[in-house]
Structure 1
Amino acid sequence: MLKPNVLRRKKDFSTIYKVGKSIGERYIVLFYRKNNLDYNRKAFLASKKVGNSVIRNRARRLMKQSYKELEENISIGYDFIFIARNTIKNMKCADVKKSMEAALIKTKIIKK
Protein backbone atom coordinates (compact mmCIF):
# COMPACT_ATOMS: atom_id res chain seq x y z
CA MET A 1 0.00 0.00 0.00
CA LEU A 2 1.45 3.35 -1.06
CA LYS A 3 1.48 6.26 1.36
CA PRO A 4 -0.60 9.20 0.06
CA ASN A 5 1.69 11.85 1.58
CA VAL A 6 4.75 11.04 -0.58
CA LEU A 7 5.41 12.72 -3.93
CA ARG A 8 5.99 10.15 -6.69
CA ARG A 9 4.74 11.32 -10.08
CA LYS A 10 7.06 13.16 -12.46
CA LYS A 11 4.24 15.60 -13.25
CA ASP A 12 4.07 16.66 -9.58
CA PHE A 13 7.82 17.21 -9.40
CA SER A 14 7.84 19.21 -12.64
CA THR A 15 4.96 21.39 -11.45
CA ILE A 16 6.69 22.17 -8.15
CA TYR A 17 9.95 23.03 -9.91
CA LYS A 18 8.21 25.26 -12.50
CA VAL A 19 5.37 26.90 -10.53
CA GLY A 20 6.55 26.55 -6.93
CA LYS A 21 8.99 28.65 -4.98
CA SER A 22 12.38 27.77 -3.53
CA ILE A 23 14.40 28.69 -0.47
CA GLY A 24 18.04 27.81 0.06
CA GLU A 25 19.61 27.13 3.42
CA ARG A 26 23.02 25.92 4.54
CA TYR A 27 22.32 22.18 4.31
CA ILE A 28 19.12 21.94 2.25
CA VAL A 29 17.17 23.53 -0.59
CA LEU A 30 13.39 23.61 -0.21
CA PHE A 31 10.96 23.74 -3.12
CA TYR A 32 7.33 24.19 -2.10
CA ARG A 33 3.89 24.79 -3.55
CA LYS A 34 0.32 24.89 -2.26
CA ASN A 35 -1.55 21.67 -3.18
CA ASN A 36 -5.14 22.32 -1.95
CA LEU A 37 -5.25 18.95 -0.17
CA ASP A 38 -5.87 18.31 3.51
CA TYR A 39 -2.39 16.84 3.98
CA ASN A 40 1.20 17.65 3.03
CA ARG A 41 3.11 15.68 0.40
CA LYS A 42 6.88 15.53 0.55
CA ALA A 43 10.00 14.15 -1.12
CA PHE A 44 13.58 13.97 0.13
CA LEU A 45 16.33 13.99 -2.50
CA ALA A 46 20.11 13.73 -2.49
CA SER A 47 22.02 13.83 -5.77
CA LYS A 48 25.27 12.04 -6.54
CA LYS A 49 27.08 15.31 -5.88
CA VAL A 50 26.39 14.74 -2.16
CA GLY A 51 28.45 11.54 -2.09
CA ASN A 52 28.24 7.79 -2.43
CA SER A 53 25.06 5.82 -1.66
CA VAL A 54 25.80 5.54 2.06
CA ILE A 55 26.16 9.30 2.43
CA ARG A 56 23.11 10.03 0.25
CA ASN A 57 20.92 7.64 2.25
CA ARG A 58 22.16 9.15 5.51
CA ALA A 59 21.34 12.64 4.20
CA ARG A 60 17.79 11.53 3.33
CA ARG A 61 17.38 9.90 6.75
CA LEU A 62 18.53 13.10 8.46
CA MET A 63 16.04 15.18 6.48
CA LYS A 64 13.19 12.73 7.13
CA GLN A 65 13.87 12.71 10.88
CA SER A 66 14.11 16.50 10.99
CA TYR A 67 10.82 16.82 9.13
CA LYS A 68 9.17 14.33 11.50
CA GLU A 69 10.24 16.45 14.48
CA LEU A 70 8.94 19.67 12.89
CA GLU A 71 5.80 18.18 11.33
CA GLU A 72 3.33 19.18 14.05
CA ASN A 73 4.15 22.89 13.56
CA ILE A 74 3.93 22.87 9.74
CA SER A 75 0.80 24.22 8.04
CA ILE A 76 -1.26 21.73 6.04
CA GLY A 77 -1.87 21.80 2.28
CA TYR A 78 1.61 21.99 0.74
CA ASP A 79 3.94 19.93 -1.45
CA PHE A 80 7.58 19.94 -0.37
CA ILE A 81 10.77 18.80 -2.05
CA PHE A 82 13.77 18.83 0.28
CA ILE A 83 17.09 18.54 -1.56
CA ALA A 84 20.31 17.85 0.34
CA ARG A 85 23.33 20.04 -0.36
CA ASN A 86 26.79 18.54 -0.28
CA THR A 87 27.49 20.45 2.98
CA ILE A 88 25.19 17.99 4.79
CA LYS A 89 27.82 15.21 4.74
CA ASN A 90 29.10 15.13 8.34
CA MET A 91 26.29 17.01 10.06
CA LYS A 92 24.18 15.94 13.02
CA CYS A 93 20.41 15.71 12.96
CA ALA A 94 20.08 18.85 15.12
CA ASP A 95 22.02 20.90 12.55
CA VAL A 96 19.83 19.69 9.69
CA LYS A 97 16.71 20.35 11.77
CA LYS A 98 17.81 23.96 12.39
CA SER A 99 18.46 24.45 8.68
CA MET A 100 15.09 22.95 7.74
CA GLU A 101 13.30 25.02 10.37
CA ALA A 102 14.99 28.21 9.12
CA ALA A 103 13.86 27.47 5.55
CA LEU A 104 10.29 26.82 6.68
CA ILE A 105 10.27 30.00 8.77
CA LYS A 106 11.42 32.01 5.72
CA THR A 107 8.46 30.61 3.77
CA LYS A 108 6.06 31.43 6.65
CA ILE A 109 4.70 27.87 6.46
CA ILE A 110 5.71 26.86 9.97
CA LYS A 111 3.62 27.91 12.97
CA LYS A 112 5.62 29.03 15.99
Structure 2
Amino acid sequence: MKNINIIKRNHEFQSIIGNKRFIKTKGFVIYFKKNDLKRFRYGISVGKKTGNAVFRNKIKRQIRSMIWEILDDQSEKYFDIVIMARIMILDKSFQDNLEELKKALLLIK
Protein backbone atom coordinates (compact mmCIF):
# COMPACT_ATOMS: atom_id res chain seq x y z
CA MET A 1 0.00 0.00 0.00
CA LYS A 2 1.33 3.42 -0.94
CA ASN A 3 1.82 5.82 1.95
CA ILE A 4 -0.03 9.03 1.03
CA ASN A 5 1.41 10.91 4.01
CA ILE A 6 4.93 11.23 2.56
CA ILE A 7 6.16 14.33 0.73
CA LYS A 8 8.66 13.40 -1.98
CA ARG A 9 8.60 16.08 -4.66
CA ASN A 10 11.20 18.83 -4.62
CA HIS A 11 8.70 21.61 -5.37
CA GLU A 12 6.63 20.58 -2.34
CA PHE A 13 9.74 20.67 -0.12
CA GLN A 14 10.63 24.11 -1.50
CA SER A 15 7.14 25.53 -0.95
CA ILE A 16 7.11 24.36 2.69
CA ILE A 17 10.61 25.68 3.37
CA GLY A 18 9.80 28.90 1.51
CA ASN A 19 6.88 29.50 3.87
CA LYS A 20 9.56 30.34 6.52
CA ARG A 21 7.66 28.97 9.50
CA PHE A 22 9.93 26.67 11.46
CA ILE A 23 10.90 25.28 14.85
CA LYS A 24 14.54 24.64 15.78
CA THR A 25 15.71 22.13 18.33
CA LYS A 26 19.14 20.65 19.00
CA GLY A 27 18.51 17.66 16.75
CA PHE A 28 15.94 18.92 14.25
CA VAL A 29 14.74 21.86 12.19
CA ILE A 30 11.05 21.44 11.39
CA TYR A 31 9.45 23.55 8.67
CA PHE A 32 5.67 23.50 8.50
CA LYS A 33 2.79 24.79 6.43
CA LYS A 34 -0.96 24.35 6.79
CA ASN A 35 -2.55 22.25 4.04
CA ASP A 36 -6.06 21.78 2.65
CA LEU A 37 -5.76 18.02 2.15
CA LYS A 38 -7.30 17.11 5.53
CA ARG A 39 -4.31 14.93 6.45
CA PHE A 40 -0.90 15.20 8.07
CA ARG A 41 2.00 14.86 5.60
CA TYR A 42 5.75 14.77 6.23
CA GLY A 43 9.07 14.79 4.43
CA ILE A 44 12.50 13.96 5.81
CA SER A 45 15.81 15.53 4.83
CA VAL A 46 19.25 14.53 6.10
CA GLY A 47 22.30 16.46 4.88
CA LYS A 48 25.54 14.97 3.65
CA LYS A 49 27.47 16.42 6.59
CA THR A 50 25.71 13.88 8.80
CA GLY A 51 27.61 10.96 7.26
CA ASN A 52 27.64 8.54 4.39
CA ALA A 53 24.52 7.05 2.79
CA VAL A 54 24.31 4.23 5.32
CA PHE A 55 24.11 6.63 8.29
CA ARG A 56 21.74 8.99 6.49
CA ASN A 57 19.35 6.16 5.64
CA LYS A 58 19.52 4.87 9.22
CA ILE A 59 18.57 8.32 10.51
CA LYS A 60 15.69 8.55 8.01
CA ARG A 61 14.39 5.13 9.12
CA GLN A 62 14.56 6.22 12.77
CA ILE A 63 12.73 9.49 12.08
CA ARG A 64 10.08 7.61 10.08
CA SER A 65 9.63 5.27 13.05
CA MET A 66 9.29 8.27 15.38
CA ILE A 67 6.65 9.80 13.09
CA TRP A 68 4.64 6.58 13.09
CA GLU A 69 4.65 6.58 16.91
CA ILE A 70 3.62 10.24 17.06
CA LEU A 71 1.15 10.18 14.15
CA ASP A 72 -1.86 9.28 16.31
CA ASP A 73 -1.37 12.47 18.34
CA GLN A 74 -1.07 14.61 15.19
CA SER A 75 -4.06 13.18 13.31
CA GLU A 76 -6.23 16.26 13.89
CA LYS A 77 -3.51 18.66 12.68
CA TYR A 78 -3.54 19.22 8.93
CA PHE A 79 0.02 20.31 8.22
CA ASP A 80 2.78 19.55 5.77
CA ILE A 81 6.09 19.33 7.60
CA VAL A 82 9.69 18.87 6.53
CA ILE A 83 11.98 17.44 9.19
CA MET A 84 15.64 18.25 8.69
CA ALA A 85 17.97 16.25 10.89
CA ARG A 86 20.96 18.01 12.39
CA ILE A 87 24.25 16.32 13.19
CA MET A 88 23.47 16.49 16.94
CA ILE A 89 20.93 13.68 16.42
CA LEU A 90 23.82 11.20 16.37
CA ASP A 91 24.87 12.05 19.94
CA LYS A 92 21.55 11.12 21.53
CA SER A 93 19.58 7.91 21.90
CA PHE A 94 16.46 7.06 19.93
CA GLN A 95 14.26 7.69 22.97
CA ASP A 96 15.76 11.14 23.59
CA ASN A 97 15.29 12.08 19.94
CA LEU A 98 11.70 10.80 20.06
CA GLU A 99 10.88 13.00 23.07
CA GLU A 100 12.51 16.02 21.42
CA LEU A 101 10.51 15.49 18.21
CA LYS A 102 7.25 15.05 20.17
CA LYS A 103 7.78 18.32 22.02
CA ALA A 104 8.61 20.16 18.80
CA LEU A 105 5.54 18.83 16.95
CA LEU A 106 3.27 19.90 19.81
CA LEU A 107 4.38 23.50 19.23
CA ILE A 108 3.06 23.53 15.64
CA LYS A 109 -0.09 25.63 15.40
Please, what TM-score do these two structures have when normalized by structure 1? Answer: 0.86
TM-score computed with the length of structure 2 as normaliser: 0.88
Q: Distance in 1 between matches of 2:15 and 2:9?
A: 10
Shift of 1:42: 0.8
> How many residues are matched?
108
Partner of 2:25: 25
Aligned position for 2:88: 87
Aligned partner of residue 44 in structure 2, secondary structure: strand
Contact persistence 1:62–1:96 (CA under 8 A): no
What is the CA RMSD across the aligned residues, in angstroms? 1.6
Matched ranges for 1:29-68 at <5 A: 29-68=29-68
- Where structure 1 has 5 or more consecutive residues not aligned to the other structure, the ranges are none
Q: Gaps (5+ residues) in structure 2?
A: none
Show CA shifts across 1:55-99 (max 9, x none): 111111111111111110013311011111001124322111111
Question: Cα gap change, 1:20/1:40 in structure 2, threshold over 3 Å: closer, same or farther?
Answer: farther
Among the aligned pairs, what percent are the same residue?
A: 26
